Amino acid sequence: MTLVSSKPLASTDMKPLVWQSHETVVASATTLGILRRFPRLMREAVKLAWAANRRDLLLAVSLNLLAGVCMVSGLVSGTVVLSRLLSQAMTWESLQAASGPLVMVCTLAVLRSSLLALASWSQARLRPQVERIVAARLAMAGTRLPLADFDEPELYDFMRLAKDRGLHEAPEMVQRMVDVAAAVIGLAAAGSVLAATHPVLLPLVLIASVPDGWAAARAGLMRYRLMFQLTASRRRKWILHELMCGRASALEVRAYMMREFLLEEYDKISAQEERLELRLSRREFVVGLQGVSARGLCAGVVYGALAILVGTGMVGVGAAATAVIAVQVSNSSLRNLVGSATSCFQSGLYFEDLVSFLATATARSRRDERPGPADFETISADGIGFAYPGTDSRVIHDVSVRVRKGEMIALVGENGSGKSTLAKLLAGFYEVTEGAVRWDGDDIQGVRREDLWRHVAVIAQDYTQWPLSARHNIVMGNRPDEDGLASAALASGADSVIAGLPEGYDTLLDRRFKGGQELSKGQWQRVAAARAFYRDASLLICDEPTAAMDPAAENALLTAIREFAEDRAVILITHRLEAVRHCDRAYVLAHGRVAESGTHDDLLSLGGLYYESYMLQARRYGRMPGLDPV
C-alpha cells in the first residue's frame, strides 16, 4: 500500500486492512464460541510453558499452592487467637494463651508472603523463556513457508498478526493463567475457612462478589472491544509515523512537502482514538460505580447474616472475626480471579492467532518428498501454465523452453510479460499449475526444494540489501572462502566498490547503523552479482542484472556472466538486446507466452517483435545494430 500519492489522501483513502477484517471476525465471534475454544488454548499455553521451562512452571504453581495452605493455617490460627482474646475478659492468662497461636499467625503470614514472592519470581523467569521459544517457533515457521505463500495476502497478514501480537501475548497468556491458578487457590483457601466457620457463609460471600465480578468483566469486555476497534487505526498511525520519520520516504516527504499533510492525518487519527478512549473511561467509571454500590449492598447482607449467626450463638465471636477477614481475602481473590481471567481471555484471542498460524504453517511447510538430482544437464519447461496463488488469471500460458549446461539463454519481452516468473518456475521457487518443469527429464513436482536450490544462484531483480558486512553480503552466512570471494568480487566488479569502503569487506552496508555505508544502486547490483558468482551453482539466473549499472560495468558483468556460462546453465533476463547476441538462444515473451524464439540472428530475420524492439533500441542509442561490443 502506498500512501504517498499525487492526489490528496483522506484517511478514508486507506483501504481497510486485511487484519482489520480479520479482527472484525474475531470481535464478532460470540463470547460463548471463544469460551468453548478456551480449554484447547489453555492446554497449548501449558504445553508452551512446559517446553519453555517446566521447573519454573511447576514452581510457580506449587509455591502458590503452598501459600494457599499457609493462608488457611493462618486463618485457622487467627480464629484461635481471636476466640481466646474475645471469648472472655482480657487477662494476662488469656493473652498468654493467645501468644502461641499469634506467633504462628505471624510466622505463617511471613511464610506466605515469601512463598508468593518466590512464585512471582518463577513466573517472571518464565516470561522471557516463553517469549524466546515462541519467537524461535515463529521464525522457524516463517522461513519454512513456501515462497508462494508470501503471495497470499491473508496468510502474510496472518503471520504478521501472529508475530506482532502473538509474540507478546503468549507469555502474557502463560502469566495470566498462573495468576488464575493462584487466584483459584487463594479463593479455595479462604472459602474452605468460611465453609468451616458456617456452611451459609461461603455461598453468601460468593453472592456478595457477583457485583464486583460483573463490573470487572464488563469493563474488561468493553476495553477488549475498543482494542479491536483501534487496531486498524493504530496500524495506520504506525505507517504514517514510518512515512514521516522513516529513512525511505525522508526525501519525498521534503521534496513534496508532505509534512503538514501527514501531521494532519496523524492528528486526525489520534483525535479519533482519544475520543474513543475518553468515552470508554467514562463508561468504565459508570460500570465501576454501579459495581461498588451493589457491592456495598451485598456486603451489608453478608455482614448482617454474620451478625445474626453470632447473635443466635450459631457462630462464636472469634470465628465471626476470622470470617470477616476471610470475606475480605476471598473478595480480593475473586477480584483477582475475574481480573486475571479477563486478561487471560483477551490474551487468549491473540494467542489463538499464534497457535493457529503455527499449525497452518506446519501444515503448509513441505514435507517432501523425493530427493532431488545430484546435478543436471538440461532443464526444460514443457507446456507450462501458471497463476500466482490467490489469483485466477494465468500469467504464463503454455510455455516450453529449455536450457542446457554450457548454454546461456535469454528471456526478453516487455515489463510484465512473465520473464521473472518463468525463471522462478524453472528453478522450482513456484510450482507450475499446468505442464511440467523437468530437470533431466524428471518432473520436479514433489522433489525436495533444497535439493534443487542447492544448484541455483540468482541475481534477483529485487535483490536484498542485507544489513550485513560486505563480506556476508557475498558469502551469505557461509564460511568465507577468501579465494572464491576474491574471484567472485573481481568477476562482478564488486572488488572496486569494496576497495573504496573504509573497512573493506568488513564494512557494514547499512547506514541505519553507526559506521554503516551506503552504496548506490549500481554498486549494490555488483555486490548482488558477486553473491551469485560466489555461490558457484550449476544454474545461474540473472534477472536484469545490469539495470542500474553504468555502461562499462554492464559490459564487464555481461562478459563475466558469459565466461561463467561455459560449464553452467545461465538464464539471462535483459532489456539490452545487444546482450542477446552472445546467447545461444532467446525466448521472446509476450503476455506470458513465447512469441518468438531462436538465436539473435534468427530473431532479427523474423522481422517480428524482437526485430522491432531491437531497431528501436538501436535508434535510441544512435548506434548501428551489430556494431556494439558486449
Ligand X SMILES: Nc1ncnc2c1ncn2[C@@H]1O[C@H](COP(=O)(O)OP(=O)(O)O)[C@@H](O)[C@H]1O
Residue 131, contacted partner among Mg ion, ligand X, none, CB below 5-8 A by kind: none
**Is residue 260 packed enough to be buried (19+ CB in 10 Å), middle (13-18) or exposed (0-12)?**
exposed
Q: Which does 417 bind (CB under 5 to 8 A by kind): ligand X, Mg ion, none?
A: ligand X
Considering only 116, 196, 395, 561, the residue that binds ligand X (CB under 6 A) is 395
Label residues 161-176 b or e (16+ Cβ within 10 Å = b): bbbbbbbbbbbbbbbb
Does 249 participate in binding Mg ion (rule CB under 5 A)?
no
- Nearest distance in Å: CB 396, Mg ion: 13
Angle, helices 167-197/92-144, rounded to nearest 10 degrees: 150
Shortest separation between residue 388's beta carbon and ligand X, angstroms: 3
Pick from 471, 304, 318, 444: nearest CA to 370:
444
- Mark residues 364-393: x for contact with ligand X by CB under 6 A, - for none: ------------------------x--x--
Q: Which does 388 bind (CB under 5 to 8 A by kind): ligand X, Mg ion, none?
A: ligand X
157 binds ligand X (CB under 6 A): no
Q: Of Mg ion, ligand X, none, which one sits near residue 545, judging by CB under 5 to 8 A according to partner kind?
A: none
d(CA 198, CA 582): 98
> Which of 194/589 has CB closer to ligand X?
589
Of 551-610, binders to Mg ion (CB under 5 A) are none
Query: How many angstroms separate the CA atoms of 286 and 13, rounded?
Result: 36
CB of 420 to ligand X, least distance (A): 3
Instruction: Choose the stretch contacting ligand X; rule: CB under 6 A; options: 93-101, 277-285, 331-339, 419-427.
Output: 419-427
Q: Does 153 bind ligand X (CB under 6 A)?
A: no
Q: Does 343 bind Mg ion (CB under 5 A)?
A: no
Query: 3-state SS string over 525-585?
Result: HHHHHHHHHHHCCCEEEEECCCCCCCHHHHHHHHHHHHHHHHHCEEEEECCCHHHHHHCCE
Tell me which residues in 431-470 interact with Mg ion (CB under 5 A): 461
415, 479, 514, 624: which one binds ligand X (CB under 6 A): 415
For the bound state, the minimum distance from the C-beta of residue 548 to ligand X, rounded and expressed in Å, comes to: 16
Work out whether 546 is an interface residue with ligand X (CB under 6 A).
no
For Mg ion, the closer CB: 211 or 418: 418
In sequence order, the 6+-apart residues with CB closer than 8 A to the CB of 376 are 405, 439, 440, 455, 538, 539, 569
Q: Which of 420, 469, 492, 597 binds Mg ion (CB under 5 A)?
A: 420
In the complex, least distance from residue 620 CB atom to Mg ion, rounded to whole angstroms: 21
Q: Are 197 and 323 in contact (CB under 8 A)?
A: yes
Strand order in the sheet with 569-573: 456-459, 539-543, 569-573, 408-413, 585-590, 593-598
142: exposed, middle or buried (Cβ count in 10 Å: 0-12, 13-18, 19+): middle
Does 628 bind ligand X (CB under 6 A)? Our answer is no
The distance of closest approach from Cβ of residue 592 to Mg ion in the complex, given in angstroms and rounded to an integer, is 12
Q: Is residue 233 classed as helix, strand or coil in its secondary structure? A: helix
Residues that bind ligand X (CB under 6 A): 151, 388, 391, 395, 413, 415-421
